[in-house]
Amino acid sequence: MTRALHRPTTPISAADVLRRLPAEWPEDLLPAIRAEIEASGSKLIVLDDDPTGTQTVRNVPVLTRWDVELLTAELNQPGSTCYILTNSRSLGGEEARRLASCIVRNLMAASARAGRPVRVLSRSDSTLRGHFPHETEGIVEALGFEPDALVLAPFFLEGGRLTVGDVHYVREGEDLVPAGMTEFARDPAFGYRSSNLREWVVEKTGGRIRPEQVDSLSLEEIRQGGPDRVLERLLAAPRGKVWIVNAAAMSDVQVVALALLRAERYGLKVLCRTAASFVPAYGGLEPAALLDGHDFSPCGGGGLILVGSFVPRTTRQLAELLAHGGCVSLELEAAALLDPEKRPHEVEKAGEFASRTMAEGRHAVIYTSRQVIHGRTREESLVIQRTISQALIEVVRRLEVRPRFLVAKGGITASDVATEGLGVVRADVLGPIVPGVPVWKLGPESRFPGMPLVVFPGNVGGPESLVETLRRLDGQRKEDAPC
C-alpha cells in the first residue's frame, strides 16, 4: 500500500488530531493475546538498551547478566515476560551490535536447554534515540535468519509519544511536536532529522533500507479492521518488509500484538523494535497501576537522588525539586569529573556528603552540572557521558549509610547505578510510581537487598514529576505535609 509522505513542520493540537481518528477497536484483546502465548508456550525476552524500559510493567523480573546458566534458570520460571538490561545505549554502534548478538546466542542455547521457545524484542527509546539498526542486525545475525517482518513501534502512551500518519510525535502540553523538531532529535550521540518514520528508517540505515521496503499499518486499518485486517496485511506482503506501527492508544498496539502472534503461528518470522508500551501488549500483561506512596516506609531515614541526565526536561524537573523538594543538594561540575586530577576529590566529597546527609535523616540530591560537553564525534560524546556517569557510580560505592531509597535520573545513570554501583543481578519490577517511572526491588545479591531503586528516565514527566516521586516515596500525596 503506497501512501504520500506526511512531513509536518510545526506542532499541532493533540485534541484536534485525536478527535479526527476513528474510534478505538472495542474488544478487550488481552484474553486472546494470553491464549496465543499459552498455546505457543513461549516467553517474551526483552533486550532493554537502558533500564527505563520496565516503566510499563509490574511483577516481572529484570536481569543484568546473560550467561547461559542464568538464562536457563529464568526460562524455567513461570511468567510470560522477562527483561535483560543490556545498557547498550551507552556503547558505540558496533559494540551494541556485538552485544545483542552475544546475548541472543546465549538465549538460544538456554532456550534449547530449558525446552522453552522464546520471542525476542528489542526495546529502545520512544524519542528514537538508540542504536538502530545496529541492535536489530545483531539479533538477526545470532538468530541466523532474516525476519519476514521487522516491526517498529515507538509508541509510548505514558510519555505522550504517539505515531499518527506514520509521523512520530512527542506531546508537549496541549500540542503534539514532530519528533524531529524536539530536543531529543538534537541528541549529540543519537540525533536525527526525520519525524516521518518511513524516512527515519531510510535515514538511520544510510539508505541500506530503501523507501519501497518500508510499509505501515494505519490507524484506520488497526481501528476499523482489527486483528484480522492487520494479519491479512502481514501475510500478504512481500517478506523482509519494515513495518511502521501507528498507535495513539493501548488498544492499537494490542490489535497489532494479537495479529503478530497469530502471524507467527502461521510461520511468519517477526522481530520487534519498540518502545515500552508495546511490551505489555505483546507479553499479555495487565496494565501497571501506579504504586501507592504508602507502599514505601515513610519518614525512616534519608534517601539519595542522583541526577546524571542532562536533557532540558530533566533540568526543569531538577530545578523544581531543588526549589520545593526539601532536600539537601550538591552539584558536581562535569568538567571536573572529566579531569583526572580533580575527579577523585569531587567523588570523595560527594560520597561524604551523601552519607552524612542520609545519616541525619534527610534526602541528599547529587547532580552533575547542566552544561552539555560534546565530543567531536558521536562516539566521543558517548564516552564523555559514560565517564561522567561513572563518577556517580563511584559515589554510590563510597556510601557508608544504606539509603531508604535511591532515585537514579537518566537511563545510563540508572543502569550504571544498578549494575556497577549496587551489584544487581536480578531485580523485581514492582511497577511505576508516577507514569513512566518504574521502581525495582533489589535482589539479595545486591549491596542493599530489598531497597527500592527508582529508575527515572531523563525524557519522561512534567516539571513536578521528580517532586511528586519524592512525595510518594515519603508516603505523601500532594496535599500532605512534609515529613
Q: Which three cell numbers stand for residue 100?
A: 545483542
Interatomic CA distance for residues 334 and 59, integer angstroms: 36
Distance separating alpha carbons of residues 409 and 413, to the nearest angstrom: 6
The secondary structure of 289-316 as a DSSP string is PPPPGGGS--SSS--EEEE---SHHHHH
* pLDDT value of position 380: 82
The pLDDT value recorded for residue 104 is 98
Torsion of CA 136, 142, 145, 146, to 10 degrees: 10
The grid cell for 24 is 478505538
Fill in the DSSP letter of residue 345: H
Q: Go through the domains of the chain in sequence order and give each one's CATH number.
A: 12-283 (3.40.50.10840), 293-473 (3.40.980.20)
- For residues 213 and 237, is the Cβ–Cβ distance under 8 A? no
- pLDDT at residue 1, rounded to an integer: 46
H-run or E-run covering 466: helix 465-473
The torsion of the CA quartet 372, 378, 381, 383, rounded to 10 degrees, works out to: 160
Answer yes or no: pTM beyond 0.95: no
pLDDT score for 334: 85
Place of cell 496541549: 174
Phi, psi (deg, nearest 5) at residue 141: -60, -45
Question: Which pLDDT does position 414 carry in this prediction?
Answer: 87
- 471 close to 446: Cβ distance less than 8 angstroms: no
- Angle CA(123)–CA(124)–CA(129) in degrees, nearest 5? 165
26 by DSSP, 3-state: which?
coil
Which pLDDT value is given to residue 481? Answer: 37
What pLDDT score does 293 carry? 64
pLDDT tens-place values along the chain, 483 residues long: 446 677 777 899 999 999 999 999 999 999 999 999 999 999 999 999 988 889 999 999 999 999 999 999 999 999 999 999 998 998 899 999 999 999 999 999 999 999 999 999 999 999 999 999 999 999 999 999 999 999 999 999 988 999 999 999 999 999 999 999 998 999 888 999 999 999 999 999 999 999 999 999 999 999 999 999 999 999 999 999 999 999 999 999 999 999 999 999 999 999 999 999 999 999 999 988 899 766 665 556 899 999 988 778 899 999 999 998 789 999 988 888 888 999 999 999 999 999 999 999 999 999 988 777 778 787 787 787 778 888 899 999 999 999 999 999 988 888 889 999 999 999 999 999 999 899 999 999 999 999 999 999 888 888 999 999 999 998 865 544 343
Before 133, cis peptide (omega within 30)?
yes
pLDDT at position 4:
64
Beta strands in 337-379 (DSSP E): 364-368
